Amino acid sequence: MRLDKYLCEAGLGTRSQVKKLLKSGVVTVNGQTVLRPEEKLKETDRVAVSGRELSVARLEYWMLYKPAGCVSATEDARFQTVTELLPAEARRDLFPVGRLDRDTEGLLLLTNDGKLAHFLLSPKRHVDKVYYARVRGRVTKEHVKLFAEGLDIGDEKKTLPAVLEILQEEETARVLWERREEKDTGSAGEPEETGESQVRITIREGRFHQIKRMFEAVGCEVAYLRRLSMGSLTLDEGLTPGGCRRLTEQEVEALKEETGC
């Protein structure tokens, strides 16, 4: 790889900015000052800028606890993006693997490994994605059966079979219909009870608003949604919304092994 391209990918600026950096004489390769942008690098070369050695790793993998309110994109004119939550030392060519809705929280993988991203998102690989949700309405065993059979959510095909687990049911509110003065009867409506269910859902695809649409198809509404895992990668319990960390070598190898990447 050319030295100027390497410096650009390391996040040190545009090609023209990198050329100015090289002319200033602060870039060294294996301890020797290099001024030529076309200098070719080997994998074993050690590149430093002003004495600070750059990472030789071209591929990076970051786990982010995506908070609600930001978008799964590298740039957006209206909302904060997930890449803006990464620390300064992270590479500038990282991108989110898949998308979480703006109001959805949880695990998001960011990387510049296009091959792994493709394998993780490919419908043929059937990588499990596990979510926790709070759902308005009582989720029953009948719903569990319907999720397992696949649901019509308005697309050309039904969803693939999904695993729905009921974690807890709570009566969170007793909603009384608003009394209305009706000139003809003067009567009021009857009380209506609503509840909230806590569930875990495992899907193997990633359609637009899929989980929300699946619950809408069975007469429920998602009030809160958080992704817990994607394949072997599980959200670090030590992270808080907006927090991130690099993946360990073991986590990266596990993802590659399960996808055949």
Clarify whether residues 47 and 75 are in a common domain. no
pLDDT for position 53: 84
Clarify whether residues 38 and 154 are in a common domain. no
Full-model pTM = 0.72
- Calpha distance 184→192 (Å, rounded): 23
Structural domains in the chain (count): 2
* 183 domain-assigned: no
Beta bridge partners of 135: 197, 222
Residue 77 neighbours by CB distance under 10 Å: 4
Clarify whether residues 20 and 110 are in a common domain. no
Exactly one of 101, 152, 155, 236 is catalytic; name it: 101
Look up 103 and say whether it is catalytic. no
* 182 domain-assigned: no
Write the CATH number for 33. 3.10.290.10
Digit-by-digit pLDDT tens for the chain (261 residues) are 789 888 887 778 888 899 999 999 999 999 999 999 999 988 678 899 999 888 655 789 999 999 999 999 999 999 999 999 999 888 888 999 999 999 999 999 999 999 999 999 987 888 999 999 999 989 999 999 999 999 999 999 999 999 999 997 654 433 322 333 343 444 444 434 457 899 999 999 989 999 999 999 999 999 999 999 999 999 999 999 999 999 998 999 999 998 887
The type of residue at 130 is V
pLDDT for position 238: 96
Clarify whether residues 160 and 227 are in a common domain. yes
* Residue-number span of the structural domain to which 196 is assigned: 61-177+188-259
Clarify whether residues 208 and 250 are in a common domain. yes
Which H/E stretch holds residue 234?
Answer: strand 233-234
DSSP string, 158-222: PPPP-EEEEEEEEEEEEEPPPP---TTT---PPPEEEEEEEEEEEES---TTHHHHHHHHTT-EE
Clarify whether residues 8 and 132 are in a common domain. no
